[in-house]
Chain A
Amino acid sequence: MATDVRQEVERSESGEQGVGFPLTDIDLRRLLFGIGGIAAFVGLWWVVSLFQPAYILPSPVVVAETFAAEAASGEMTTALGQSVRHWLPGAVIGTGLGIAVGIALAWSPLVDDISSPVVRVLRPVPPLALIGFAIAWFGINHAGAAFIIAVGAFWINFYATYGGVEGVSEELLDVARSLGVQGDLQQIRSVVVPAASPEIMTGIRTGIGRSWMLVVAAEIFGVPGIGREILRASNNLQVDVVITYILVLSIMFLIVDTAFRAAQRRVLAWR
């Protein structure tokens, strides 16, 4: 199972690489290049939109107007508030459980041996395939959507934590025991968790990204929120509205990710 986990962690890490916005780096060069890249992207978008009807690709100007209108009407804040009501509990519960279960399996060979077959069966199930359960168990509501998001966050955090805990050096645990640390819980608290914190933090961050993506999926079956707005606008061919709410998702992700990165850097200052 060990190698599985490593690959999984690497995959989930590399899959999310490059999303970091260079704002927090006090690196003028990178910042300027970043702004230049965005400007070029928007410029290209604008040029292409000149030759397309609005229902295929609206111009950035139209999208900006729609964005302003949606924001002014209060629709946007309402949708965002709805999404946060399942995103937040889903992400928090999924992350917490993923970390806890990851520690338990990686720490105890017994728990690992018992759980590993179950893990291997459940792992390939995409969160979206669980919508039926979400509806049956929780209903078409925030709890159901939170469940979908939690499942997604769970696996990412589980594998990241598992890999991190597996990598904790035996010698550090030896030293800790010679300094009076006794029992599993104390060892986990005083050595395992801090030693694995870089991997755990990477898992949390990757999981946050994934959970924003899952917001859309989780709202497919009718729970209100940003994803619902995107789906509704898609059905009405309102591409400008679709892009507006995609932007809202991106901005939310960016804010949360930037904040987390700052926290991560502070917590991991020892590295």
Chain B
Amino acid sequence: MAIDDPDASRVRVDNVGKQYTGSQGPVQALEDVSFEVEPGEFVCLVGPSGSGKTTLFRVVAGLESPTSGTVSLNGTPVTEPNADMGIVFQEYHLFPWRTVHGNIAFGLEQAAMPADERERRVQHLVDLVGLDGFEESYPKDLSGGMKQRVGLARALAVDPALLLMDEPFGAVDAQTKEMLQTELLEIWEQTGKTVLFVTHDIEEAVKLADRVVVMAKDPGRIRDVVEIDLPRPRSRTDEAFGEYYERVLELVRA
């Protein structure tokens, strides 16, 4: 699962603006947003509710087109969702009619991968996210944490250049959340994926990210970018961790 071409995953967001027509007139969900995510980098996006995090996630994923500006992945403009990005939602959005195995295999079937190779790959991913023994379970029978493991494995299956996640651990309990964070970091270190991770949990951002992009609202824009220069695994009881936390918190509240 190592990436072949480490340059294939640089994200460029260039002067992106996005206007929605809400019920009370136009809403500037994003204004003049520019940043880059380096290949292999883990970037977290935090900000108050309504600061445009989800909007930015959707624009980068190609699910929504910006009103102005451009997004590119390794130099290629992003205009629609494609297999270069794996997306993971807070609400999982698994295919309920498919088993764990079937969900993970979905993207591989689209890519017409030979059956035996596909089997090996699915099994590898099942192992990677720790779902052995649940291959034939349907989503309805899984806990939230397990569902999100499937969501992650499904996104990773097609070996996307970029992993995009919108509050992926927002719907699971605190303990499961910690476990999933640790597992995600392990997977990230193993695969070297570029990750853009939206969260409103500042602690989560400081724990995971190489850099934290802090957004502000009305209009949605980037307030500041904080580089987290701490070795992993990080402990929140660490003094330096606390300092970063305070700094990001202040920026979010400002």
Contacts and interface: CB of A to CB of B under 8 A. Distances in A.
Interface stretch (B26-34, B82-90, B172-180, B235-243): B82-90
A83 to B, nearest CB: 35
Interface string B63-94: 10000000000000000111101110101010
Contacts of B140: 270-271
B189 to A, nearest CB: 23
A270 B61 contact: no
B107 interface: yes
B110 A190 contact: yes
Contacts of B106: 176, 179, 190
Contacts of B87: 174-175, 178
Nearest to A174: B63
Contacts of A129: none
Contacts of A271: 96, 140
B1 interface: no
Interface in A175-232: 175-181, 186, 190-191, 194-195, 197
Contacts of A269: 138
Contacts of B96: 195, 270-271
A176 B86 CA distance: 10
A180 B107 contact: yes
Contact of B91 (A171, A190, A197): A171
A194 B94 CA distance: 13
A179 B89 contact: no
Contacts of B155: 178-179
Contacts of B98: 194, 270
Contact of B110 (A171, A174, A179): A179
Contact of A179 (B61, B91, B138, B158): B158
A195 B154 contact: no
Given A171-B91, A190-B110, A177 B97 contact: no
Contacts of B93: 169, 171-172, 174-175
B89 A181 contact: no
B82 A178 contact: yes
A198 to B, nearest CB: 9
B97 A270 contact: yes
Interface string B156-188: 011010000000000000000000000000000
Given A194-B97, A195-B97, A178 B61 contact: yes
B85 A181 contact: no
A144 B244 CA distance: 79
A270 B138 contact: yes
Given A172-B95, A191-B95, 19 more contacts: A169-B93, A171-B91, A172-B93, A174-B81, A174-B87, A177-B81, A178-B62, A178-B83, A178-B86, A178-B155, A179-B107, A179-B155, A180-B111, A194-B97, A195-B95, A197-B97, A269-B138, A270-B140, A271-B96
A193 B138 CA distance: 18
Interface string B130-162: 000000001110000000000000110110100
Nearest to B89: A171
A118 B107 CA distance: 39
A180 B110 contact: yes
9 contacts: A174-B81, A174-B87, A175-B154, A178-B61, A179-B155, A180-B110, A186-B110, A191-B95, A194-B95
A192 to B, nearest CB: 12
Nearest to A175: B93
Nearest to A193: B97
A176 B140 CA distance: 19
A179 B61 CA distance: 12
Contacts of A172: 93, 95
A48 B61 CA distance: 72
A258 B98 CA distance: 25
Most-contacted residue by chain B among A194, A195, A197, A270 (CB, 10 A) = A270
Interface in B16-54: none
Contacts of B63: 174
